[in-house]
């Protein structure tokens, strides 16, 4: 009878496991509003679940994402965490149709009562009134909480993999770029068009992931990359044909999952130390402040006013018109 080598056992398996007396992990957990959670063998699968809204980010998203990541981190069965999205794309960014069109009516309100805090839409609406005084720290206190939630993917003990299809734009990239590995469909669209007006990527990770020139090439124009280009530029590890995305991601995930968990943790910590030494935390802070500033400039107020008048989609269509002419869910770069 063939015996499984000790280094191939799951973390909670075998007589020498420190987790051997732990109660069997339960898949029962909170009902998330923005994502689903399941464990399949050694893999925790987190899936954004607002397909009708393009999995747009709400105040619940960073809280639930961080909770789900911690849940997977604490589960001795799990060796790797995979993040994906249901519907037509991975994530279309913040639910700006709510914030840009309906901020005055309480848009972007989350599940919990945050009345009177920086997460209260009324507080943010008051701070965004162009007739009043803007307090940048009120804005920072709000936005930094979103980014901290997304950064749980980078700081998790266990490896995180983003599987991207369709589109990953604007705030969606603030999430995906925090993952340790990105696998993206060749025809997907990834980038940060809001740098054209009303946004700076608060994660501050583009230069760290792509280098100075390539990051500037994207963010000085708001241009996007196809998945194939993202892999060529080194932003993604692989860009399979859309029909092969699930299969190719699963190959990578299962190869990671076969590793001993302590090895995965040590490798991730060692490599993260180099990334963090580059100043990721500082980049995040500066970028989050500038993101707030970008929404409180003359141009930022004009964009919000146009979104309130004509609808967010129309405002974005005008933002992405000539000389860009790349509005829509697909990239024109081929």
Task: Note whether 95 and 34 are within 8 A (CB).
Answer: no
37-68 per-position pLDDT tens digit: 999 999 999 999 999 999 999 999 999 999 99
pLDDT at 125: 86
Domain 25-319: give its CATH superfamily.
2-enoyl-CoA Hydratase; Chain A, domain 1 (3.90.226.10)
Average pLDDT taken over every residue of the chain: 92
pLDDT for residue 228 is more than 90: yes
pLDDT digits (tens, 9 = 90+) for 269-322: 999 999 999 999 999 999 999 999 999 999 999 998 999 899 999 999 999 999
pLDDT tens string 252-265: 999 999 999 999 99
Please tell me the pTM assigned to this model.
0.94
Mean pLDDT of 207-232: 97
SS3 of 74, please?
Answer: helix
The partner residues of 46 in beta bridges, in order of sequence, read: 37, 83
Question: How is the chain split into domains, by residue range?
Answer: 25-319
Which residues is 163 bridged to in the sheet?
Answer: 183
pLDDT at 106: 47
Alpha-carbon span 52 to 55, nearest angstrom: 7
Average pLDDT over every residue of 2-9: 84
Residue 97 pLDDT exceeds 70: no
Q: How far apart are CA 116 and CA 123, in angstroms?
A: 7
* Residue 3: other Cβ atoms inside 10 A: 6
């Amino acid at each position: 009878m063939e015996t499984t080598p000790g280094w191939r056992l799951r973390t909670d398996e075998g007589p020498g496991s420190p987790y051997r007396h732990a109660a069997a992990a339960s898949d029962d957990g909170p009902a998330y509003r923005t994502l689903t959670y399941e464990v399949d063998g050694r893999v925790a699968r987190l899936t954004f679940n607002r397909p009708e809204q393009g999995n747009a980010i709400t105040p619940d998203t960073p809280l639930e994402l961080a909770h789900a990541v911690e849940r997977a981190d604490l589960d001795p069965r799990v060796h790797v965490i995979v993040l994906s999205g249901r519907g037509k794309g991975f994530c279309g960014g913040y639910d700006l149709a709510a914030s840009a069109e309906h901020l005055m009516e309480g848009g972007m309100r989350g599940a919990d009562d945050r009345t009177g805090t920086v997460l209260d839409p009324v507080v943010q609406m008051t701070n965004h009134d162009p007739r009043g005084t803007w307090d940048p720290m009120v804005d920072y206190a709000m936005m930094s909480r979103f980014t901290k939630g997304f950064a749980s993917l980078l700081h998790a003990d266990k490896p995180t993999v983003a599987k991207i299809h369709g589109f990953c734009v604007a705030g969606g990239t603030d999430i995906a770029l925090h993952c340790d590995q990105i696998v993206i469909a060749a025809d997907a669209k990834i980038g940060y068009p809001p740098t054209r007006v009303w946004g700076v990527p608060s994660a501050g990770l583009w230069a760290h992931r792509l280098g100075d020139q390539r990051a500037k090439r994207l963010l000085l124009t708001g241009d996007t990359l196809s998945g194939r280009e993202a892999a060529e530029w080194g932003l993604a590890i692989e860009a399979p044909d859309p029909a092969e995305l699930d299969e190719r991601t699963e190959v990578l995930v299962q190869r990671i999952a076969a590793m001993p968990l302590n090895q995965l943790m040590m490798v991730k910590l060692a490599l993260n130390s180099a990334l963090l030494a580059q100043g990721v935390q500082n980049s995040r802070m500066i970028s989050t402040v500038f993101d707030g500033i970008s929404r409180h400039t003359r141009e930022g107020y004009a964009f919000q006013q146009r979104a309130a008048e004509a609808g967010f989609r129309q405002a974005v269509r005008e933002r992405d018109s000539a000389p860009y002419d790349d509005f829509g869910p697909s990239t024109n770069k081929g």
